[in-house]
Structure 1
Amino acid sequence: MPLMRQVVQRRTGRPAEVVEVVEVPVPTPGPDELLVQLDAAPVNPAELLMFEGRYGYGPSRPSLPRLAGIEGVGTVVGGATDRVAEGTPLALLGIPGLWSDYVVIPARRALVLPEDIDRQQASMGLVNPQAVLLLLEDHVGLEPGDVVVQNAANSAFGRVLDAIARRRGLTLVNVVRSQAAADALAGVAHGAVAIDGPDLPERFLELTGGRPARLAVDAVGGGSTNRLAHCLATGGVVSLYGLLSGRPAVLDLDLVVFHGVRLEGYWTPRSMSRRRPEEIRTLFQESLELLRSEAFHVPVEATYGLDDVAAALEHAAQEGRRGKVLLTR
């Protein structure tokens, strides 16, 4: 029986130290199922949090052991090829254990991609657009011309938000933490770029002509949350979607009591659960259109094979990266 590699997590800790690569039989597709070979999969921040045991709360924490991988792109190599032809590229979303040589999926769940699509960009180009589109709807009713501010703007999520904000006519200020990160966005970002610091609220208003933001998008937490909150209009919302600093979010009490600022969490599975199936289909199609039109481009810093997944996780956890880390067969 042919064997394949599969990435498994049995315990929590430093990702590179707790990850395992095991050999298991290649799965056999049943009726109306497809055998899909992995082409590429990104190492996302959520994946690192899962290995560290910091993803989820209570019942939403992943149980162990778990099969790793939450997003990627693959190619149909067997199974119900009368339904989806062999060689067809597919987006792999919501399929457990994508960090494997092969996975089996129901043919009815096949998310077919264009033949000429960039496989690496596609592997990391659907989860973030869907998350951005949902987040922009979940907290405040934004209109063209409204101001939004985000931190971690040089991340994959940040670059997608920059592209979508432009399409929607939003004024966006992209906040990064270093000059090197600002340089990486030079000539790429559509919105203004600012380096984080104690005087961020003042510099933010200079960039927007004195207009406060209705929404702040926070991937960091800690003191960065507070600096973003000071950029908000009365009743504005900080949407916290990431845990990059590992520190509790800080929010001045006078902002909450007298300025009506709110801190709300964003989590894609929760947001998706509130949508009807037809809304989710529309969301996927809009995300795919963004990807096909090359509205955004996410740099790739390095690729690793499945055998080198520990090195990939170590690399992805480094600060100051200039692009994504991908896993490939």
Structure 2
Amino acid sequence: MLLLPAFRGARPSGLINGVLFAKRPLSGLCTSLVYGEYGDPEKVVKRKQEAIPKPEGKQVLVRMLAATVNPADINTIQGVYAIKPTLPSIPGNEGVGEVIEVGSEVGGDIKPGCRVIPRLNAWGTWRTHALAQYTDLIKIPSDVDLAMAATIAVNPGTAYRMLKDFVPLGTGDVVIQNGANSAVGQAVIQIAAALGLRTINVVRDRPEISELKQRLKDIGATVVVTEGELRKSEEVSALPKPSLALNCVSGRSGTEVLRQLASKGVMVTYGGMSRQPVTVPVGSLIFTDITLGGFWMTRWNKEHYDHPKRQQMLDDLFELVRCNKLKPPAHSFVPFDSYLEAIKNAMPKEGMLGKKQILVF
């Protein structure tokens, strides 16, 4: 059992996901992680303390409960991501917090005690407290598992949108994906299973491949194969050709997944873990008439800032959580004071990622 630094505020002591939390004394200080230059996250990210601000007008004071350390966060700090924030900057695209105080002009259902997530990415979740306009926050259910609440927006949101927005899919249809053991991949498996879809899941070979295959099947995967097994797998050939392929690896893996598509199928690329381009066989374009597309959750969120589709997506995802059909990916809770450990463990090793790192405050 892990004993974490005490919380500031009225939250009672207790166990959450096997982790013991206690009250934090009223210190009056906010601790943030900040980087003033791009580079190695383990070197450029520093701690900063300042007085906890008081909300005014339409502002809300949020105490962070948990925040993820995602590959996009690492890439942003390194300066190789599509978005380069103005420096100095507080990292963190995703997390969940509790409202502890509101300004006099705050409206809607944002009140002290409710849980919230940021409406936009690059909000800066790696800090103990945050001041925000109430319109920049989304209220979420307070009875949801902490890990699920902290990870709901980016990875399950990406999986949901890719399954909903590119190809009309019905019960029994087949979706193929690589990087199936990633956080998005695990969400794809679970959401697809809840929708009655079948999935072909491609993973990289590794010593513990049998255990990995079983873990993915346990959460709803139809077929799990390694990249080397894909073309010759009898389980794959026994299924109808997929009309949708999801690619987060690119390079040779992306090409092999693309080759599996049915006529007029669509491949959606949302990542490039191999750091290699996607090579498209000419025959797939001419004779199979496949379509290539891309998806970026950050862009979708901006385009649907307060659109009803955004809330509908979250409602659907939380309903799956309540029905035990959607669980968080394998993860580790890391005390905020041990942020360097979380950063180190979030860095890809030999092109593969381990457990999702979640900072807890």
Q: Same fold (TM over 0.5)?
A: yes
The whole-number CA distance in structure 2 between the counterparts of 1:234 and 1:307 is: 52
Q: 1:39 to 1:176 in 2, by over 3 A?
A: same
Determine if contact 1:300/1:325 at 8 Å carries over to the other structure: no
- 1:27-38 alignment, distance < 5 Å: 27-38=53-64
Cross-structure match for 2:187: 160
The whole-number CA distance in structure 2 between the counterparts of 1:210 and 1:118 is: 35
The whole-number CA distance in structure 2 between the counterparts of 1:230 and 1:318 is: 27
The whole-number CA distance in structure 2 between the counterparts of 1:250 and 1:301 is: 33
Spell out, residue by residue over 1:215-256, the C-alpha distance to the aligned partner (whole angstroms, 9 max, x if none). 110111111101101111122222110122222223323322
Determine if contact 1:38/1:74 at 8 Å carries over to the other structure: yes
Q: 1:12 to 1:145 in 2, by over 3 A?
A: same
The reply to whether residue 77 of structure 1 matches residue 106 of structure 2 is: no
The Cα of 1:324 is off from its aligned counterpart by 1.1
Aligned partner letter, 1:184: R
Q: Secondary structure at the match of 1:158?
A: helix
Q: Secondary structure at the match of 2:191?
A: helix
The whole-number CA distance in structure 1 between the counterparts of 2:60 and 2:134 is: 6
Cross-structure match for 2:22: none
The whole-number CA distance in structure 2 between the counterparts of 1:235 and 1:299 is: 32
Spell out, residue by residue over 1:120-163, the C-alpha distance to the aligned partner (whole angstroms, 9 max, x if none). 22101232222222222333222332211011111221111111
Cross-structure match for 2:87: 64
Determine if contact 1:148/1:215 at 8 Å carries over to the other structure: yes
Q: Secondary structure at the match of 2:168?
A: coil
Cross-structure match for 2:357: 325
The reply to whether residue 219 of structure 1 matches residue 248 of structure 2 is: yes
The Cα of 1:170 is off from its aligned counterpart by 1.6
The Cα of 1:108 is off from its aligned counterpart by 4.2
Query: For 2:46, which of 16, 20, 23 is the aligned residue?
Result: 20
Equivalenced residue count is 324
Spell out, residue by residue over 1:261-300, the C-alpha distance to the aligned partner (whole angstroms, 9 max, x if none). 2332211133345547122222222222223333222244
Aligned partner letter, 1:250: T
Q: Secondary structure at the match of 1:86?
A: coil
Q: Secondary structure at the match of 2:231?
A: helix
Cross-structure match for 2:281: 252
Q: 1:169 to 1:301 in 2, by over 3 A?
A: closer
User: Kindly, what percent of the aligned residue pairs are identical?
Assistant: 28
Q: Secondary structure at the match of 1:232?
A: coil
Determine if contact 2:243/2:261 at 8 Å carries over to the other structure: yes
Cross-structure match for 2:23: none
Cross-structure match for 1:230: 259
Q: 1:314 to 1:287 in 2, by over 3 A?
A: same
Q: 1:271 to 1:109 in 2, by over 3 A?
A: closer
After superposing the two structures, state which structure 1 stretch, 185-194 or 267-276, moved more: 267-276
Cross-structure match for 2:156: 129
Cross-structure match for 1:184: 215
Aligned partner letter, 2:125: L
Cross-structure match for 2:30: 4
Aligned partner letter, 1:45: P
Q: Secondary structure at the match of 1:200?
A: coil
After superposing the two structures, state which structure 1 stretch, 161-170 or 250-259, moved more: 250-259
Cross-structure match for 1:196: 227
Q: 1:259 to 1:64 in 2, by over 3 A?
A: farther
The whole-number CA distance in structure 1 between the counterparts of 2:114 and 2:276 is: 43
What is the TM-score with the length of structure 2 in the denominator?
Answer: 0.81
Aligned partner letter, 1:196: E
Q: Which has the higher contact order (CA 8 A, sep 6+)?
A: 1
After superposing the two structures, state which structure 1 stretch, 9-18 or 164-173, moved more: 9-18
Cross-structure match for 2:316: 286
Determine if contact 2:346/2:354 at 8 Å carries over to the other structure: no
Aligned partner letter, 1:298: P
- 1:98-117 alignment, distance < 5 Å: 98-117=125-144
Determine if contact 2:175/2:200 at 8 Å carries over to the other structure: yes
Cross-structure match for 1:295: 325
Query: For 2:65, which of 32, 36, 39 is the aligned residue?
Result: 39
Q: 1:299 to 1:214 in 2, by over 3 A?
A: closer
The whole-number CA distance in structure 2 between the counterparts of 1:133 and 1:306 is: 30
Determine if contact 1:55/1:62 at 8 Å carries over to the other structure: no
The whole-number CA distance in structure 1 between the counterparts of 2:132 and 2:176 is: 39
Q: 1:270 to 1:91 in 2, by over 3 A?
A: closer
Query: For 2:296, which of 247, 267, 272 is the aligned residue?
Result: 267
After superposing the two structures, state which structure 1 stretch, 167-176 or 245-254, moved more: 245-254
Cross-structure match for 2:342: 312
